[in-house]
Amino acid sequence: MAGALGRLGPLWAGSRRRQPGSDIFRQQELKSTFARQAKMPPCDFSPAKYESYPYEHLLKIRKQNVSPSLVTYYKKPLLLHQGHMQWLFDYEGRRYLDLFAGIVTVSVGHCHPKVTAAAQKQLDRLWHTTNIYMHPSIQEYAEKLTALLPDPLKVVYLTNSGSEANDLAMFMARLYTRNFDLICFRGGYHGASPYALGLTSIGSYKHGVANGFGCQTTMLPDVFRGPWGGSHCRDSPVQTIRKCSCSQGSCEANDWYIEQFKDTLDTCVPKKIAGFIAEPIQGVNGAVQYPKGFLKKAFQLVHERGGVCIADEVQTGFGRTGSHFWGFQTHDIVPDIVTMAKGIGNGFPMAAVVTKPEIANSLAQNLHFNTFGGNPVACVAGSAVLDVIAEAGLQKNSEEVGTYMLLEFAKLRDNFEIIGDVRGKGLMIGIEMVKNKDSRQPLPAEEMSEIWEDCKDMGVLLGKGGIYGQYVHAIG
């Protein structure tokens, strides 16, 4: 993807700088400027002819027979027909550069030939057998996956989704410690199942009914939008434009956020807790990064309270941060439990919980069964994904291409009043849009949506999110 992503810089590069206080940002003239400067990289792949129902008929079925909670993106929902590596094609054959990667899921490219061939071969041999029997692929995959994790993280429980993995991690933490309360960050996303919703701290996912008891939120150490932060806080090629007076090797913002974490421990939970869960970089909330050293100190404080520490690697895992294979490694920590999903199977419904033997043993006191966890096809696909990441050097690619993109986006931030922050590591990138840099007030949703729609019209698919829908998610 390096060649494709390297040409994205010009997409916004000739537009007028937005003046503070201006009420109109998206002008037809500006839109035309964007369109003139956007140039899609070449592609020698031709999609097959679309032969399913007409668009309008499928849209009718979607409205009548598919749950309305499954919202579609864009004013005119995309009807996608085929994928090839970084490209997606709609029913009319139009090509899109997929920078959202199926919500941070397609880790080696759509329909990668090696992953596809491995899955097809296994489909011809054995689709499914329950994990009460042995089959080669589950053992082979468990050995290959755990070899990529530090000791003592060597025991795997395979599930079908990230929400399910985080549910199980919560359950394991409580079984092992015999404590109940769990701590999570505000703005964190850990799933939408009734159990995991207790850990998810974004209001738009809350339904006003009881869920996830015993989950306490703590202040998010966000060095851009939070009360403290400066220009040396993040482990990223790009720092926030906020200034600080910290001396070499110290971070006042980190110290203040740790004090807030201690306050949560002293006031909101018992003296003994079950654990703490954190994404190494927050995903849904906008690629939010914490001050360097924060998670290491927070983990220490949790262990002192008898709790276990859970790293949610659903979005940051499998080399996406570039410098390391796992996001937690960038913080110089080893969690007690690691959850992973999304990129683990390149889109195949697959997830995992990896932990220490003693924590895994707590689950073995009684029966705990998952019919589809460790499915033969899933394990073979997951194994092929690990092979492709290694053989194609995709972790290094994430670091090189991601760093290039971050630095190019930072140039846009310096030139445009509405780009408040650029942050991330590797190909985990967020761009926060604001009314102006001084106030850091989120860009109104309607203006954000216009930018998002325009990018789609130019053939580039991006995510958007954040508590206020104010940031652009570029994953690659």
* pLDDT tens digits for range 75-112: 999 999 999 999 999 999 999 999 999 999 999 999 99
Between 373 and 5, name the one with better pLDDT.
373
Q: What is the pLDDT of residue 476?
A: 57
- Burial string for 109-132 (b: 16+ CB within 10 Å, else e) reads bbbbeebeebbeebeeeeeeeebe
Q: What is the pLDDT of residue 36?
A: 53
Question: pLDDT band for position 221 (50/70/90)?
Answer: very high
Question: Can you tell me the distance from the alpha carbon of 472 to that of 181, in angstroms, rounded to the nearest whole number?
Answer: 33
Burial class (CB in 10 A: 0-12, 13-18, 19+), 50: middle
The CATH number, out of the four listed (3.90.1480, 3.30.420, 1.10.1740, 3.90.1150), of the domain defined by the range 1-15+24-104+448-476: 3.90.1150
Mean predicted confidence (pLDDT) in 19-32: 44
Strands 308-312, 337-340: pairing kind = parallel
Q: What is the pLDDT of residue 38?
A: 64
DSSP 3-state assignment of 410? helix
Q: Which tens digit of pLDDT belongs to each residue from 128-158? A: 998 888 999 999 999 999 999 999 999 999 9
Question: pLDDT band for position 29 (50/70/90)?
Answer: very low
Q: What is the pLDDT of residue 6?
A: 32
Nearest to 426 by CA among 255, 281, 267: 281
| Residue 198 Cα distances to 89, 186, 209, 217, 359, angstroms | 37, 11, 11, 9, 22
Between 28-32, 69-73, 135-139, 393-397, the lowest mean confidence (pLDDT) is in 28-32
DSSP 3-state assignment of 177? helix
Q: What is the percent of the chain where pLDDT is above 90?
A: 80
The amino acid at residue 132 is: I
Q: Which residues in the chain are classed under CATH 3.40.640.10?
A: 114-391
Residue 415: CB atoms within 10 A of its CB come to 12
Fold of 114-391: Aspartate Aminotransferase; domain 2 (3.40.640)
Q: What is the pLDDT of residue 469?
A: 75
* CB contact at 8 A, 301 and 262: yes
Question: pLDDT band for position 466 (50/70/90)?
Answer: confident
DSSP 3-state assignment of 354? strand
Q: What is the pLDDT of residue 35?
A: 54
pTM reported for the whole predicted model: 0.92
* CB contact at 8 A, 422 and 413: yes
Mean predicted confidence (pLDDT) in 58-68: 95
Between 250 and 104, name the one with better pLDDT.
104
Q: Which tens digit of pLDDT belongs to each residue from 169-180? A: 999 999 999 999
Q: What is the pLDDT of residue 279?
A: 98
Q: What is the pLDDT of residue 9?
A: 32
Residue partners of 215: CB distance under 8 A and separation at least 6: 181, 182, 183, 184, 198, 199
Helical pair 113-125 and 376-391, crossing angle rounded to 10 deg: 160
Question: Can you tell me the distance from the alpha carbon of 25 to that of 18, in angstroms, rounded to the nearest whole number?
Answer: 7
Nearest to 89 by CA among 30, 56, 43: 43
Question: pLDDT band for position 475 (50/70/90)?
Answer: low
- Strand ranges of the sheet holding 155-159, from the earlier edge strand across to the other edge: 155-159, 351-355, 337-340, 308-312, 275-278, 182-185, 215-218
Q: Which residues in the chain are classed under CATH 3.90.1150?
A: 1-15+24-104+448-476
Q: What is the pLDDT of residue 225?
A: 94
Q: What is the pLDDT of residue 7?
A: 30
Q: What is the pLDDT of residue 126?
A: 96
Task: Output DSSP code: residue 101.
Answer: H
Q: What is the percent of the chain where pLDDT is above 70?
A: 91
Q: Which tens digit of pLDDT belongs to each residue from 411-462? A: 999 999 999 999 999 999 999 999 999 999 999 988 999 999 999 999 999 9
Q: Which tens digit of pLDDT belongs to each residue from 341-398? A: 999 999 999 999 999 999 999 999 898 889 999 999 999 999 999 999 999 999 999 9
Residue 75: CB atoms within 10 A of its CB come to 8
